[in-house]
Amino acid sequence: MWYNFLKVAFRTLWRNKFLSGINLFGLALGMTACLLILRYTSFEWSYDRFHVNSNQIYRLQLEQYTAGEPTEKSAQTPPELGPALQAAFPEIKEVTRAAPWLGGVVSTVETNDQQRSFNESDLLFVDAAFLRLFTFPLIKGSAGVLDEPNTVIITEQTAKKYFGPQNPLGKTLTLDNHNQGHHYKVTVRGVCRNVPANSHLKFNFLVSRQVTGQEGGPPTWSAYTYVLLAPNTNVANLENKLTRFGRQNQAEPTGKSLPKQILSLQALTHIHLYSHLATEVPGSGNGKMVWFLTFIAGLILLIAYVNYINLATARATERAKEVGIRKVLGSQRVHLIRQFFLESLLLNLISGALALGLMQISLPGFSQLVGIPASFHLGQQYWFVGAFLGLLWVGALLSGLYPALILSAYQPVQVLKGRISPLRQGLTLRQSLVLFQFVASITLMAGTFTVYRQFNYMRSKDLGIDISHTLVIAAPQARRETLEQEQAFYQRNQTFKSEISRYPGVTGIAATSNVPGIAIDWTPHYFNSPSAPDKVAVNRPTIAVSPEFIRQFNLRVIAGEEVSPEKARNMAAHQVTPIMLNEAAVQACGFNNPEAAIGQAIYMRNGSGKNFKNQVVGVIRDFHQRSLKETYTPLIFLISENAGAVTHYALKVNSTNISQTIARIETTYKNLFPGSPFEYFFLDEFFNQQYQTDKQFGQVFSLFTGLAIFVACLGLFGLCLFTTTQRTKEMGIRKVLGASVFSIVSLLSKDFLKLVLLANFLAWPLAYWGMQSWLQNYSFRIPVSAWLFVVPALLVLVLALLTISLQAIKTALTNPVNSLRSE
């Protein structure tokens, strides 16, 4: 019996080759799109799940309140907090802390006495528990060495980068960052495998927290604190205990009042997609976007199955005689349902095989588009094979069940007498499904326009700062431990700036501790009086710049004046540093308006408790230090010719002969700063890298929106083809009676066009809600204008007209003699 069912199914598909081909191709495209999106979303969901104890590892997060108002929710905590919690709560089996390095120079001396140096930032200060909690396999050495002073474990790629084919064990690395006062010599005691791409923690160096080389080392830094919980721990109960623990420890032994702190736990596997805290690990994903793309995948697949159901129900009348004869010959209804279900399953299996082939062909380009490593494959996910086979089975069942029930319900007596007519419920279902396709197409197209317009808005909006034609060079970070070394560096720095400014391709040079596009990590304490208590001190993001910075970046001064090099030197001689505020900082520092801030003294206290006097000399217009997703950052600019805090040189350059200009700058740099790596980037390109995720999302969204619309049009074409074929004789009679081509095309198209118009009224509210929800992620965003709705509506209308007209015009131009010959 099953063999006979299969033979009939093949014959049926072959007899209707064109319509079957439309169904096959549509389903295959839908499945391919679904599989590609699943590859991306599976990679995003796989973050940190490779750790053996991933379900038991949590990260501490700290929420601070001042005067009952939340001030910050941070991913980092004080380093002493983790061990204190482990001692207080038996549910916490193990604790580890990872303190990130803010960047600097890592160097080593080769056997030929040549120094190899690189600017590095992927470095963590950890203890041995780090490799006990997390699964980062060691190739050489043991995790215990991280509890020993001045040791480091490096990754395979780092070992090759610094030591080539040599054995790295026992080699010495030097870590330098003058601005942070770091100068550490560490010994390589282990090598671990390269960090997987789906790890939220990225590192190339694991350095022991017990480093020596200066007073006040990394053990005092804030760090990411991770805890390993005992099996079957009630996380909610433990969080309640942590809250009470935080309240009981709100005052230090001195009685000094501290801001209210609330501790909570964050699951390791949720960090990448759902954590956007202050001091967060760079490179976080977007859980909403992942779920939305998953929804798009299901929507495309649903549209493909809608095409199948539409064509199957439309062909119900055509197969009525087949059903009648089968019933007369003794077939039961259940046998007919099996027959039609087998046809659906066969179509799904062929489409599935075709989809797997299409996916393999498109994988390289798609992986590059979304940034998924080539080594990650869905086949490695144990659930994938079962899910794919289940999808084929469920898809065949759902798409084949309704047509099977419709076809098997025909009465043989009525069918064989020729009294069968199209079922009203079948027509209503087809109209509803076509309406659904149009609503989905219009909504997705409106969303695509919104995403691209927002992306272009962020790329083209005036930032309030001129970053064009700006070449940024990393400044030397070698440790200057004596006054003589500091003075010698200052002289070389001045010589470098003087020589570079004379080059024909350079129109300006400024030194700075930060550039737009980089988060400001220097947030010292500020207060309005040197005798003010600590409780009124505030932390403010600060940038140290040379006097040329304001004019070179074309920042607009709205109160006070710019600071000349001469004025900066004169004020420094009187132990006063000139500072400038942006508008956001004026309000944050408690001044009523920019004019009121001019001439006011603001004191800064460093980590050693020393106070420094600063005087506000000017206020500049707000500009975008980071992407337009964020609000304006309150900024304080310390203006000084002393390059002690400089991390970058910003050069304004001409675009002509840029390669020669860079080569000449490199020569000068290496002559004045031997041993320091020469690295550079163009600021506009660097700044726009912040929008890389948005760009990828826009490309992926538009790609699959286009696929969804194409699959919908494919199904619409197939349905129109079948409908016009069924009405060929009617059109012939109409032409004989004098009907024009236009009237026949209008007759065949009007029902579909009514559905397009109705779809617009249903899609616009959905599109508006989706636009508003998505745009809320951006502090600076486009307005939702009418054309975002009108243009998709017109485009879908044109696409529908083209799809329908191709077959309608062909039918209308057919010679009526040919269509009526059988009569």
Per-residue model confidence as pLDDT tens digits over 448-468: 889 888 888 888 888 999 999
Residue 90 vs residue 727, higher pLDDT: 90
C-alpha span between 53 and 555 (Å, rounded): 51
Q: Token digits for 96?
A: 């580890």
What is the pLDDT at residue 415? 56
What is the pLDDT at residue 252? 44
Identify the band that residue 254 occupies on the pLDDT scale cut at 50, 70 and 90: very low
Residue 346 pLDDT exceeds 60: yes
Mean pLDDT of 741-746: 74
The CB-side HSE value for 807 (13 A sphere, CA atoms) comes to 20
C-alpha span between 8 and 315 (Å, rounded): 16
What is the pLDDT at residue 398? 67
Q: Which of 343-352, 669-678, 687-696 has the lowest mean pLDDT?
A: 343-352
What is the pLDDT at residue 656? 82
Q: Is 807 helix (H, G, I), strand (E, B) or coil?
A: helix
Determine how many CB atoms are found less than 10 A away from the CB of residue 291.
13
Residue 354 vs residue 806, higher pLDDT: 354
What is the per-residue pLDDT across 477-503, written as a single tens digit (0 to 9) for each?
Answer: 777 767 777 778 888 888 898 899 888
Mean pLDDT of 402-418: 62
Where are the alpha helices (H) located in 59-179, listed in sequence order?
81-88, 129-133, 156-163
C-alpha span between 105 and 480 (Å, rounded): 13
Mean pLDDT of 752-778: 86
Residue 635 vs residue 698, higher pLDDT: 635
Residue 316 pLDDT exceeds 60: no
pTM for the model: 0.81
Residue that has been written with the tokens 């600063």 in this structure: 614
Mean pLDDT of 665-688: 90
Q: Is 775 helix (H, G, I), strand (E, B) or coil?
A: helix
What is the pLDDT at residue 342? 75
- Contact 442/763 with Cβ under 8 angstroms? yes
Residue 177 pLDDT exceeds 90: no
Q: Which of 321-335, 622-636, 740-754 has the lowest mean pLDDT?
A: 321-335
Angle between helices 382-408 and 333-370 (to 10 degrees): 140
C-alpha span between 392 and 344 (Å, rounded): 10
232 to each of 4, 52, 266, 441, 731, how far by Cα in Å? 55, 16, 16, 47, 73
Specify the pairing of strand 151-155 against strand 182-192.
parallel
What is the pLDDT at residue 367? 83
Range 64-90 burial, b when 16+ CB lie within 10 A, else e = beeeeeeeebbbbbbbebbeebbeebe
Residue 662 vs residue 426, higher pLDDT: 662
Mark residue 418 as left, alpha or beta (left: phi above 0; alpha: psi -120 to 50; beta: remaining).
left
Q: What share of the chain is helix, strand, coil (3-state, %, to 5)?
A: 50, 20, 30
In the chain, the percentage of residues whose pLDDT exceeds 90 is: 20
What is the pLDDT at residue 219? 45
Residue 583 pLDDT exceeds 50: yes
What is the pLDDT at residue 12? 65
C-alpha span between 495 and 527 (Å, rounded): 36
C-alpha span between 639 and 512 (Å, rounded): 9
What is the pLDDT at residue 139? 93
In the chain, the percentage of residues whose pLDDT exceeds 70 is: 79
Q: Which of 171-185, 288-302, 324-338, 658-672 has the lowest mean pLDDT?
A: 324-338
Q: Which of 369-378, 413-422, 706-715 has the lowest mean pLDDT?
A: 413-422
What value does the mean pLDDT of the chain take?
Answer: 80
What is the pLDDT at residue 421? 53
Residue that has been written with the tokens 């390669």 in this structure: 659
Residue 320 vs residue 751, higher pLDDT: 751
Mean pLDDT of 614-626: 92
- Contact 297/91 with Cβ under 8 angstroms? no
Q: Which residues, other chains included, contact 337 with Cβ-Cβ below 8 Å and sequence gap of 6+?
A: 401, 404, 405, 408
What is the per-residue pLDDT across 798-812, written as a single tens digit (0 to 9) for each?
Answer: 887 777 776 667 666
Q: Token digits for 461?
A: 């909006």
Identify the band that residue 183 occupies on the pLDDT scale cut at 50, 70 and 90: confident
Mean pLDDT of 656-665: 89
What is the pLDDT at residue 251? 45
Range from 142-156, 335-349, 710-724, 750-764 that averages highest in pLDDT: 142-156
Q: Which of 101-105, 137-141, 259-263 has the lowest mean pLDDT?
A: 259-263
What is the pLDDT at residue 606? 67
Mean pLDDT of 270-296: 84
384 to each of 169, 353, 365, how far by Cα in Å? 41, 15, 21
Q: Is 462 helix (H, G, I), strand (E, B) or coil?
A: coil
Q: How many residues does the chain have?
A: 823
